Structure 1
Amino acid sequence: MSLTIHGITASRAIRPLWVAAELGLTFEHVPTPYQGGATRTPAFLALNRNGHIPVVIDHRPEGEVVVWESMACALYLARHHGVADGASLTPATAREDAEALRWSLWTVNEVEKDALTVLMHRLAMPPDQRKPDLADVAERRLHVPLRVLEQHLAAQQARGEAHIAAERFTVADLCVASVLNWARPARELMAAHPRVNAWLGACMERPAYRALRGETHAD
């Protein structure tokens, strides 16, 4: 079997790329950008008619499996290319699998839109194009889901588990952190949720993630 992942790290494609890196998978990376028309070619649209990255192609003996939607790509790779051994990021129990599914969908529905607004209008866009009032509104709304995650992490810590689904880092953490990372420029929001802030900081220090983003630890 072999894998192909279309996308770039500076996009939602970071999710399947991060899973593949954490699992040590061998794959072909096709660095397809989301701008410039690369996702609108006939060849790409044959993979994903939506014209979006990422796309994962799993070349299996029984035939190709094509996966799109970034969370689906990440969860698929963890489930079908990881080992449910209780040591890797692959869910090892029904409870861990349920946590990965529900928190991944939760972060898309409850967090992603506002987190992206914070990123764009606090950091990513040129200063003259930013609209701070949009970021202010998004930050206020984010207090609600972050409070939910703060309470969940407190309950997890009470049972001796440091992460969303288990004691160890799993795909549940990866999926949620990949979205919440966009909200880190909202420093007051993060400071108001110390467990989330500490957990998120640890996730983003993972060597696999830092290597994908071309970062290194200082000596």
Structure 2
Amino acid sequence: MITLYGVYRSRASRPLWLLAEIGGEFTHVPVIQAYRLADAKSPDAPLNTASPDYLAINPQGLIPAMVDDGLLLTESMAITLHIARRYGGPLGPADGAEQSLMEQWALFAATAVEPPALEILLAVEAGGDTLPETRAAIRVSAEKLRRPLARLERHLGAHDWLVGDRFTAADINTAECLRYAQGYPALLAEFPHVSAWLARCQARPAFQAFWARREAEPV
């Protein structure tokens, strides 16, 4: 039985979306980021990333974490790929080649997509087009993202999905990284195949159910 630690408003979104796709039973332990609390060490504080009980699971104090039959994993994409491989059926790899491709796309998403996309999200939240400094930051981050988006655009011009011509955990990991850049739609409009793929991912009923749970969480 999987036990997943984390909240929907975190990188736990990746395995939580996958688990919504699978529909199997798992134990969800909401662990909130300590920085979101006024006093994370207060006796009445909810379980958070600075709580001793959670630090005993992940001393790094980050979410998500997962325990599955004694196996502890603490990186969101590794967790997602593990769940897909073990429980995901067609959402996981069909063979060794597909497993390698899913790992490749996960590393691509984590290193080439997520950092500039997250910069865009933070700049949009800090002011977006309303402030000269955030407009400039968005332009810089968008330029960083254009090259990996060009690679995605070329692939998705020939395929509907990233691996095996079907929706898989590779799409979940990559789409969740790219989601951070959706606050700057002008950039995504430059890459129509990427935009259409992201829309397909987010139109899935499991994503919609996952997103509703995320929206229900406190900001």
Q: TM-score, normalised by structure 1?
A: 0.85
For 1:54-110, what per-residue CA distance to the aligned partner results, in whole angstroms no more than 9, with x for missing partners? 01111x2xxx11111111110111112223xxxx21111223212110010011111
Counterparts of 2:11 and 2:182 in 1: how far apart (Å)? 16
1:173 is aligned, of 155, 171, 176, to 171
| Matched AA of 2:94 | A
| Residues 62-81 of structure 1 aligned to structure 2 (within 5 Å) | 64-81=70-87
Query: Compared with structure 1, are the counterparts of its residues 126 and 188 closer, same or farther at alpha carbon in structure 2 (3 Å cutoff)?
Result: closer
Structure with higher helix content: 2
| 8 A contact 2:126–2:134 mirrored in 1 | no
Cα distance in 1, alignment partners of residues 64 and 207 from structure 2: 17
Which residue is 1:46 aligned to?
A: 56
Aligned to 2:120: 118
- Matched with 2:43 is none
Asked if residue 136 in structure 1 is aligned to residue 139 in structure 2, the reply is yes
User: Could you say what secondary structure the match of 1:196 adopts?
Assistant: helix
Secondary structure at the aligned position of 1:75 is classed as: helix
1:214 to 191, 198, 212: 212
Distance in 2 of aligned mates of 1:98 and 1:206: 25
CA distance in structure 2 between the aligned counterparts of 1:135 and 1:68, rounded to whole angstroms: 30
**Match of 2:99?**
97
Identity among equivalent positions (%) equals 36
Over aligned residues, Cα RMSD in angstroms? 1.8
Note the alpha carbon deviations across 1:152-185, whole angstroms, 9 max, x for none: 222xx2xxx4100022100111110010011112
Q: Partner of 2:73: helix, strand, or coil?
A: strand
1:192 Cα deviation from its structure 2 partner: 0.8
Instruction: Structure 2: give runs of 5+ residues left out of the alignment.
Output: 41-47, 214-219
The residue type equivalent to 2:175 in the other structure is A
Q: In 2, Cα distance between the equivalents of 1:120 and 1:207?
A: 28
Query: Aligned partners of 1:113, 1:94: CA distance in 2, in Å?
Result: 28
Aligned length: 200
CA distance in 2, matches of 1:24, 1:125: 36
Normalized against structure 2, the TM-score is what? 0.85
d(CA) in 1 for partners of 2:192 and 2:127?
30
